[in-house]
Amino acid sequence: MKKVKFLGKSIGALLLAVLLLASFVGAAAAASSDIGFVDMEVLQKKLPEYQHFQTLIEQKEEEFKLFQNYTLTQHQNTLKGLDEKLKSEKNGKSEEEQAAIEKKYGSEAQKKTEATQKLLQDKRNESLKALDAEQDKINAKVQKIIEEVAKEKKLSVVLAKGAILTGGMDITNLVLEKSNKANQTKGK
């Protein structure tokens, strides 16, 4: 029984020593960390590229709304025209002939509606594709700046701020400064 108690105490002491050593090593590693992080929300609020992108999104939305309103007005006018032709053509016809005429114009109205829907969807997709391309270009530029700062600070890993609970070097302001310098040089 004494051996079991002694062994239990020895294992407990060894476990405590391992835990203390691990926390000491972890703290030392965090102090000399080669891990950095950036706050993407801050970058998106402060970098001119992201501000320009937000303006571009608003412009594309406004363009689409104008296009949509124009297209839907044209579509309504087309349907009114079809309805007038339908009424005119049905005049004086038998019930069977009127049913055939209604079916013909119903089919034509359905085709026009589907064509209008496709036109609107194509325009929306075109806008989204342009926005995606612009966002990819901006993200690549910001990624390049982050990589340059990471290299300068000898960081092996840079994470988004939300992925880090503790430790690491915040390089957000360094990225902002480097981007601003690049934009100023580009503007001159």
> For the residues of 35-48, what is the DSSP string, one character each?
EEEE-HHHHHHH-H
pLDDT at 26 over 90: no
Q: Which of 40, 32, 43, 50 is nearest to 161 (CA)?
A: 40
Q: How far apart are CA 53 and CA 43, in angstroms?
A: 13
Pairing of strands 157-160, 169-170: unpaired
Q: Whole-angstrom Cα distance, residue 155 to residue 147? A: 9
Distances (CA, A) of 95 to 62, 84, 91, 92, 101: 47, 18, 10, 9, 10
| Residue 90: predicted pLDDT | 87
Say what the pTM is.
0.68
Tell me the domain boundaries of the chain. 1-32, 33-187
**pLDDT band at 16, cuts 50/70/90?**
very low
CA angle 74, 79, 84 (to 5 degrees): 125
Which pLDDT tens digit goes with each residue over 70-118?
Answer: 999 999 999 999 999 988 998 888 999 989 989 999 999 999 999 999 9
- The proportion of the chain whose per-residue pLDDT surpasses 90, expressed as a percent, equals 64
pLDDT of residue 14: 38
pLDDT band per the 50, 70, 90 thresholds, residue 187: low
In three-state form (DSSP H/G/I as H, E/B as E, the rest C), the secondary structure along 113-138 is HHHHHHHHHHHHHHHHHHHHHHHHHH
Q: What is the mean pLDDT of the chain?
A: 84
Q: What is the token pair recorded at 165? A: 């609970």
Q: Identify whether the C-beta of residue 153 lies closer than 8 Å to the C-beta of residue 171.
A: yes
